[in-house]
Structures are given as structure tokens and as C-alpha cells.
């Protein structure tokens, strides 16, 4: 509350009620109930070409065991010290070296991994491991045990980097975070790789599958399939004027998003795309998979290249331009807004 030039009596009144834990709404009404969203987060880009060496260097700064999760947080310049890339979302680049393990734990925060480079690492979720390849989208839903590893047995082992997306800020705002450490570094493997996908990934479900919550029973959505879907569509359909070709990942047991707090998308902007501007109340983090292009977010213009990360805060107009095919992964807090009837979109 900024107190403007008030009469002494009004100031005295304000001081009195402050002692009783009260404040005058009329001094801050316009800030509290604004005409339209005024996100503190700002449009921003993280250029992978600049960051990569620091991500790799983190491997020397601290061990995976000591760090528990060796991640460089991508912190929005508008939210300094908040470990947030948007008001509700967290993003970070995680490095795991050959021979390392990120030890098993679980938390109520939902997490996604989007693989940036390297092919030798795995993630385990609730008793099943999956190998991670660039472009794969992997989930570790709320309160599921998970650990990551990069085997050292092969001489061919390589550093693996992925983008972590979590709802950490949202859960802090909701006071709903719980966490537990698993007694061992890795949880026991109970099912062979591919088991979940066989059960849930082929447009079929086990006859006695119960939907207990909004989390997808598939936990690896391979890039080979997502990419094929986009290119099949692009060959014979017209691109949407705003989005190009854009699909959302789905929980096949509900038709909803893979996790209750984060939506995820993959889109193809075809060569020569000159997108129209749109804006929406969800805030979105993009990770470039293939191709280069430009994006205008609010007043900012960014050039993007593979593995760059950029962010579009709530209600900032977004517009894409490409001279070559570009594939973008993205995630946002859309399910939260949709569940609360607060999603608004505008296409120009």
C-alpha cells in the first residue's frame, strides 16, 4: 500500500487499524483487482549455445550425489530469487554424467523431463525404468518415487542434459508441498521397460484399470511418435494461422493432460510460417527441438535455435516466424486455469 497525500486524520486511522491487523482496501483495490493481468514474469530467452558450457561445468562444481539434483534453475528476470520461470512454474537444466545416479525421492510437486541431449540415461518411476532420448517427454507425477541414472559401463557413455519442468512455485503458493527420500539410492525395478507403454500407450487400457487421479499411466511419450504425428498432419493439412501444427499430450485414461498442474504441447512451425499473434492467461515455457526462427513475445523479439528455452508470461501476445521447419515443445499451467474456469484466450 502506497499511502498518498492523506489528511493526518486518515493517516492516524490507518495506523490504528494496522495495529489490529487491518488495512484499507480502497488504497490498493486497483492493484489487487487489475483491469487485466500484470505478470511480474517477463518474456525471456535462454540461449543454449551460451549456457551449455556452464551446464557441463556444473558437473565439476558438485557431484550428483551431493547435489541430489544437479540442476541450473532458469530464473525469470522479473522474479529474481524466486526460482521461477513464470509465476507458477519452475524450469531447470539437469545434467547427469556417466556413472552417476540422482537418488530416489518423491514429492507432491509434479515434474516433467524434456530430453535435450544424450541418449544413455534412464528415469525410473514407480518401479519401471525408461531410457531417455532427445525429444522424449517423460513425467514423474506427484508423489511417485523417481530416480535417474546414467550407466558407466559403456565407454560410449555421454553427459545427458534435460529440461526439468515443475510446479514448484505453485505448490509453495498453495502450501501443499510434501517430500520424502527413498532409503536407497535407486528404487527396485519391478517391471521391464515398455510395460507401461504396452498397457496404456496403444489406445487400449487394462480392463480393470482404475482412474485414481489425473496422472497419466504412460510416463514416456517418445519423440519418434510425436514427430511422426506432426509431420503426417503437415503433409496434407493446412497450418493453423497462430499455432502451425500443434498437439497436446494426453492422459489416455481420461483424455486430460498428463498431469493435473501442467499441460504439455509439441508443435511444428512449417518453413515460411508467418504466424498471427495470440495471447492467453496461461504462461508457457518453450523448448526448441529442431529448427530456427523468431518469436515476438510482448514487446520483445527473440531468435531461437535448437535447445533454447524461452518463456511467454500470461496475456503477452505471442507471434512466430520461421524460415525453416521448427519443432517446439512447451509446457504451461493451463490445466490449473482450466480447472478453475480462469482460462482466457484471444487470437488476433
- Considering only residues 170-199, where is the footprint of its own copies by CB under 8 A? 170-180, 191-192, 194-195, 197-199
The strand pairing partners of 164, in sequence order, are 92, 113
Size of the site for its own copies (CB under 8 A): 127
**Binding residue (CB under 8 A) for its own copies from 274, 342, 346, 348:** 342
Q: Is 138 in the site for its own copies (CB under 8 A)?
A: no
Element (H, E) at 303: strand 300-304
The tally of CA atoms less than 13 A away on the side-chain side of residue 178 is: 5
Say what the alpha-carbon torsion angle 138, 127, 74, 178 is, to the nearest 10 degrees. Answer: 130
Q: How many residues are listed for the chain in this entry? A: 348
**Binding residue (CB under 8 A) for its own copies from 251, 284, 287, 322:** 251
Nearest-5° Cα angle at 132, 91 to 224: 100
Rounded to whole angstroms, how far apart are CA atoms 272 and 240?
13
Rounded to whole angstroms, how far apart are CA atoms 13 and 26?
14
> What is the closest distance, in whole angstroms, from the C-beta atom of residue 67 to its own copies in the complex?
4
Q: Is 1 in the site for its own copies (CB under 8 A)?
A: yes
Find out whether 305 and 49 touch, Cβ atoms under 8 Å: yes
Q: Considering only CA atoms, which of 334, 301, 298, 285 is closest in space to residue 86?
A: 285
The interface with its own copies within residues 189-248 (CB under 8 A) comprises 191-192, 194-195, 197-199, 201-207, 211, 213-215, 218, 221, 225-226, 228-230, 232-233, 235-237, 243, 246-248
Judged by CB, which is closer to its own copies: 65, or 154?
Answer: 65
Judged by CB, which is closer to its own copies: 61, or 301?
Answer: 61
Judged by CB, which is closer to its own copies: 50, or 154?
Answer: 50
**Chain center to CA of 205:** 27
Judged by CB, which is closer to its own copies: 156, or 203?
Answer: 203
Q: Is 344 in the site for its own copies (CB under 8 A)?
A: yes
**Binding residue (CB under 8 A) for its own copies from 24, 270, 298, 317:** 24
Judged by CB, which is closer to its own copies: 195, or 323?
Answer: 195
Judged by CB, which is closer to its own copies: 121, or 168?
Answer: 168
Judged by CB, which is closer to its own copies: 180, or 324?
Answer: 180
Q: How many CB atoms lie within 10 A of CB 191?
A: 13
Stretch that binds its own copies, among 27-35, 144-152, 288-296, 300-308 (CB under 8 A): 27-35
The strand pairing partners of 105, in sequence order, are 146, 181
> What is the closest distance, in whole angstroms, from the C-beta atom of residue 155 to its own copies in the complex?
29
> What is the closest distance, in whole angstroms, from the C-beta atom of residue 156 to its own copies in the complex?
27
The interface with its own copies within residues 264-293 (CB under 8 A) comprises 265-266, 281, 283
Q: Which residues contact 97 (CB under 8 A, 6 or more apart)?
A: 59, 64, 150, 157, 159, 160
Amino acid at each position: 500500500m502506497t499511502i498518498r497525500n492523506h489528511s493526518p486524520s486518515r493517516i492516524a486511522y490507518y495506523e490504528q487499524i494496522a495495529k489490529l491487523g487491518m488495512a484499507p482496501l480502497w488504497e490498493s483495490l486497483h492493484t489487487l483487482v487489475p483491469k487485466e493481468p500484470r505478470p511480474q514474469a517477463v518474456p525471456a530467452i535462454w540461449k543454449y549455445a551460451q549456457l551449455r558450457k556452464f551446464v557441463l561445468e556444473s558437473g565439476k562444481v558438485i557431484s550428483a550425489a551431493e547435489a541430489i539434483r544437479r540442476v541450473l534453475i532458469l530464473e525469470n528476470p522479473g522474479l529474481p530469487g524466486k526460482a521461477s520461470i513464470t509465476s507458477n512454474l519452475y524450469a531447470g537444466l539437469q545434467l547427469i554424467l556417466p556413472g552417476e545416479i540422482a537418488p530416489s525421492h518423491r514429492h507432491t510437486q509434479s515434474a516433467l523431463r524434456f530430453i535435450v541431449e544424450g541418449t544413455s540415461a534412464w528415469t525410473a518411476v514407480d518401479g519401471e525404468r525408461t531410457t531417455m532420448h532427445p525429444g522424449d517427454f517423460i513425467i514423474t507425477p506427484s508423489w511417485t518415487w523417481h530416480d535417474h541414472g546414467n550407466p558407466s559401463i559403456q565407454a560410449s557413455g555421454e553427459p545427458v542434459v534435460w529440461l526439468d519442468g515443475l510446479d514448484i512455485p505453485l505448490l509453495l503458493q498453495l502450501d501443499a508441498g510434501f517430500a520424502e527420500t527413498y532409503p536407497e539410492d535407486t528404487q527396485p525395478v519391478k517391471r521391464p521397460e515398455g510395460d507401461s507403454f504396452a498397457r496404456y500407450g496403444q489406445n487400449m487400457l487394462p480392463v480393470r484399470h482404475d482412474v485414481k487421479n489425473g496422472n497419466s499411466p504412460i510416463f514416456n511419450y517418445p519423440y519418434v511418435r510425436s514427430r511422426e504425428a506432426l509431420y503426417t498432419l503437415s503433409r496434407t493439412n493446412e497450418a493453423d494461422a497462430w499455432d502451425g501444427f500443434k498437439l497436446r499430450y494426453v492422459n489416455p485414461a481420461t483424455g486430460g493432460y498428463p498431469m493435473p498442474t501442467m499441460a504439455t504441447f509439441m508443435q511444428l512451425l512449417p518453413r515460411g510460417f508467418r504466424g498471427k499473434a495470440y495471447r492467453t492467461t496461461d504462461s508457457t515455457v518453450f523448448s526448441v527441438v529442431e529448427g530456427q526462427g523468431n518469436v515476438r513475445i510482448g514487446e520483445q523479439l527473440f531468435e531461437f535455435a535448437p535447445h533454447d528455452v524461452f518463456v511467454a508470461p500470461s496475456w503477452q501476445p505471442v507471434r512466430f516466424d520461421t524460415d525453416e521447419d521448427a519443432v517446439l515443445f512447451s509446457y504451461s499451467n493451463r490445466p490449473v486455469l482450466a480447472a478453475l474456469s480462469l482460462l482466457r484466450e484471444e487470437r488476433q
